[in-house]
A and B are shown apart, each in its own frame.
Chain A
Amino acid sequence: MSLETYGWLVLAFPLAGTVLIALSWRLGPSKLQGYVGTLAVALSFLSALGALFELQDRGEEQRQVVTVGWDYAHTVGVDAQLSLLLDPLSIFMALVVSGVSALIHLYSVSYMASDRGYTRFFAYLNYFVFSMLLLVLAGNFFFLIVGWAFVGAASYLLISFWYRRTTATAAGIKAFVINVVGDVGLVLGTYFIFKHTGSLDFVKAFGAADELGRNEGDLVAGCLLLLVGAFAKSAQVPLHTWLPDAMEGPTPVSALIHAATMVTAGVYLIARMHPFFEQAPAAADVGAILGCTTLLIAATIGLVVTDLKRVIAYSTMSQIGYMVMGVSSAAYAAGLFHLMTHAFFKALLFMAAGSVIAAMAGEQNLDRMGGFRRAMPFTFGCMAIGGLALAGVPPFAGFFSKDEILANVIAREDWHVVLGVLGYVGSLLTAIYTWRMIFRAFFGDPVEPARELEHGHLYHAPEHTNPATGEVEDTDVGFPGPEHHIAEREWSMKVAMALLAVGAIFAGVVQIPRVTDVLHNFLEPSFRDSRYYEELEPSGGLTWIGLAVGAVLALGGIALAYRLWMQEPARPAAIRQRLAGVHAFLVRKWYFDELIDTLVVRPFAMFGRFARDVFERVFVDGLLVGGPAGAVRAGSAAVRAVQSGFLRYYAALLLVGVTGLGLYFLLAAS
């Protein structure tokens, strides 16, 4: 089969999956639907592999293929075509997305098994995979925006999956509103680019990018707007407040959307739009600085939060900060390499966290967890592997990818060196908060659920409650199901986690500095028009120093976490007492929620109240609607007075009228 066919199949399978699952709702929740969903995404992954092989069969010069499915419109110079761009970058993203998604689908087959909304879950999940693949395979801005919007909708649907929980629906709304802000930025940015390049098609627009002036005002504005879109989707400061709240969704959703795939859409956008960003370095610099800021802010918050999933969420925000910093500093291969390895170990961490939360019967608070190491050895092993990869311990995957980004950023010289150094600080913090989480959850004295599990009995809470607010819930539609599933007991969860663990351990070999260059060479045709791709290479000395420093910081961070949370359990509390102000500031997430509330939410709410009370009631209802209505009513009242009901009055009118007419004609004729 040809490359184009494979490309369309990659999209067709998840779409077919979602339609089939949705139409089969009458069968009631059944594992068959889960397997159909998993199969659909697995087939999509195989098609992406097929496309990969076809692409590599072609010569070096022909690796950017545009395939057009349908011509929607040719108007006003806009060509709206259903076209896919199949080149190394999009196939790479498609492989990562479909591969990790397939494993997460497999995990969810057992994890969500007792949920009444099982069918809905898999329909939404397949829909999400379809939208994400559409986003990465799109060949013009039009379909990029369509995929972007669909992904936002899927995220909303999945975050508010347990829709009877008010915390979940509020989180879904928050995520969607911030996403819409990003959508507006993306569309406006597209407009700017279209205005200057005259085409919505990627290949044509990139070709015209060279003619634009360097750092020209319009181009910088367009790129900044694209950055707004990227930041909203990838949860970077200042549009990041939705991501921690998004942990209200089921754990597989957090693993898929908010770790491995959707949040990486922003990184993909910046990498794809690199011709424009390289022509507008001001915007790229803004991106790099904000990426660095995010990674530090998120790392500091991750040190103090107590909800297991939120620690991992802040870690995601931080790692995406690395990726954004990387691709904004023109380290494209490094940033995308980290995207791949991060997808593996972050999804693994979320899956393991899901297993622990299931063992705790839905409780997510780290304060109530401890000592699960003996009760859940497999989960512990996966979490440890994920934690080592995230912290950046050699030879795990995260070590190579993170250090490559930082080495490339420092190799940019000038002020980028500061960003690189801050990135190393961030990696120390990463190691600390990751292993804080692992030591607290798995080491120490076993809590009651852990003890029960060691005796082979899965803990059931006396009543089902919302983990955030403690409200009591039932287990019917719209709430989590009554049963919880841990990895040790479900083969599908074990298989998915094991495969990801293998990826997290070995994926680093793809791009060992100075030894293998697989990804860099593979992605080269997509970045041929970049002026930094080949030139930006850290020197040998810089690379080795960077690797050494990275390894030392990672191991040092783990050691520090060990010291604080294992050997001297009273120290963290004492430090918290002494730095109470700092702790409060961090726990309140740097007051970003309050800031956005004051700057944005309150003015809009006030405007809404003004619109309802003053404008709608007085002006529209009173004047514009009431005015003509009142006039008509008065007029008809006047006319109604003629109908008095008096027979003689009517007769008189008739006679007077006839007489008048007769007189008139008589006089006129004479």
Chain B
Amino acid sequence: MNVEWYLIVSALVFSIGAGGILVRRNPLVILLCLELMLNAGNLALVAFARAHGNEDGQIFALIVMVVAACEVAVGLGLIVAIYRRRLPIDVDELRELQG
């Protein structure tokens, strides 16, 4: 049971998520990719927990899941608000917070 395989999978998923954030314009899809990255992190944590034989990694993975849930709630709320205001659901168009 090599931990490297799990880490490679984690890295792959993480990069797919990162690439998705950089490329996609729909905020909903960006949130999805964000989830991918977080879950890749979770995978790595659990793999290391298995490798070291203690449960520290699993506990931290639970905490990460809580954070992911909160942040998704906020993100989805923002997207619903944007939709209700009839603004374009395009991250490139929403750039007034600048200067």
Contacts and interface: CB of A to CB of B under 8 A. Distances in A.
Are the chains A and B members of one assembly?
A: yes
Contacts of A655: 18, 21-22
A648 interface: yes
Contact of B98 (A644, A648, A651, A652): A644
A541 interface: no
Interface in B3-21: 18, 21
A117 to B, nearest CB: 59
A648 B92 contact: yes
Contact of A648 (B91, B96, B97, B99): B91
A482 to B, nearest CB: 66
A647 to B, nearest CB: 5
A643 B21 contact: no
Contacts of B99: 640, 643
Nearest to A642: B98
Contacts of B30: 647
B94 interface: yes
A645 interface: yes
Contact of B97 (A645, A651, A652): A645
Nearest to A651: B21
A640 B21 CA distance: 24
A647 B78 CA distance: 14
Interface string A633-670: 00000001001111110011001000000000000000
A646 B99 CA distance: 11
Interface in B40-99: 91-92, 94-99
A640 B99 CA distance: 6
Contacts of A646: 91-92, 95
A522 B94 CA distance: 99
Contact of A644 (B18, B25, B95): B95
Interface residues of B, number: 13
B9 to A, nearest CB: 18
Nearest to B33: A651
Contacts of A647: 30, 91-92, 94-95
Q: Is the interface of B mostly helix, strand, loop or mixed?
A: loop
Interface in A558-607: none
A651 B96 CA distance: 17
A645 B96 CA distance: 6
Contact of B22 (A640, A645, A652): A652
Contacts of A644: 95, 98
Contacts of A643: 98-99
B22 A648 contact: yes
Contacts of B92: 646-648
Interface string A291-318: 0000000000000000000000000000
Contacts, number: 28
Nearest to B94: A647
Contacts of A645: 95-98
Question: In the complex, which of the residues A640, A648, A655 has the most CB atoms of chain B within 10 Å of its own CB atom?
Answer: A648
A126 to B, nearest CB: 64
A457 B91 CA distance: 97
A477 B73 CA distance: 75
A651 B17 CA distance: 12
B95 A651 contact: no
Nearest to B91: A647
B18 to A, nearest CB: 6
A196 to B, nearest CB: 68
B5 to A, nearest CB: 20
B72 to A, nearest CB: 16
Nearest to B95: A645
A651 B98 CA distance: 15
B37 to A, nearest CB: 10
Contacts of B21: 648, 651, 655
A634 B30 CA distance: 35
Nearest to B21: A651
A380 to B, nearest CB: 86
Contacts of A652: 22
Contacts of B98: 643-645
Most B C-beta atoms less than 10 A away, residue of A643, A645, A652: A645
A442 to B, nearest CB: 85
Contacts of B25: 648
A655 B23 CA distance: 13
A640 B96 CA distance: 14
Interface string A408-436: 00000000000000000000000000000
Contacts of A651: 21-22
A648 B34 CA distance: 13
Nearest to A655: B18
A651 B95 CA distance: 14
Interface in A607-652: 640, 643-648, 651-652
Contacts of B91: 646-648
B43 to A, nearest CB: 18
Nearest to B15: A655
A651 B22 CA distance: 7
A482 B92 CA distance: 81
A645 B21 CA distance: 16
Nearest to A658: B18
A127 to B, nearest CB: 60
A640 B25 CA distance: 24
A491 to B, nearest CB: 82
A379 B18 CA distance: 109
A645 B99 CA distance: 8
B94 to A, nearest CB: 7
A659 to B, nearest CB: 9
Contacts of B95: 644-647
A652 B19 CA distance: 9
Contacts of B22: 648, 651-652, 655
B13 to A, nearest CB: 15
Nearest to B18: A655
Interface in A498-525: none
A15 to B, nearest CB: 63
Interface string A385-401: 00000000000000000
Given A647-B30, A647-B92, A648-B92, 10 more contacts: A640-B99, A643-B98, A643-B99, A644-B98, A645-B95, A646-B91, A647-B95, A648-B22, A651-B22, A655-B21
28 contacts: A640-B99, A643-B98, A643-B99, A644-B95, A644-B98, A645-B95, A645-B96, A645-B97, A645-B98, A646-B91, A646-B92, A646-B95, A647-B30, A647-B91, A647-B92, A647-B94, A647-B95, A648-B21, A648-B22, A648-B25, A648-B91, A648-B92, A651-B21, A651-B22, A652-B22, A655-B18, A655-B21, A655-B22
Interface of A: 640, 643-648, 651-652, 655
Interface of B: 18, 21-22, 25, 30, 91-92, 94-99
Which 8 A-B residue pairings sit nearest by Cβ, starting from the closest? A645-B95, A645-B98, A647-B91, A651-B21, A643-B98, A646-B95, A645-B97, A655-B18
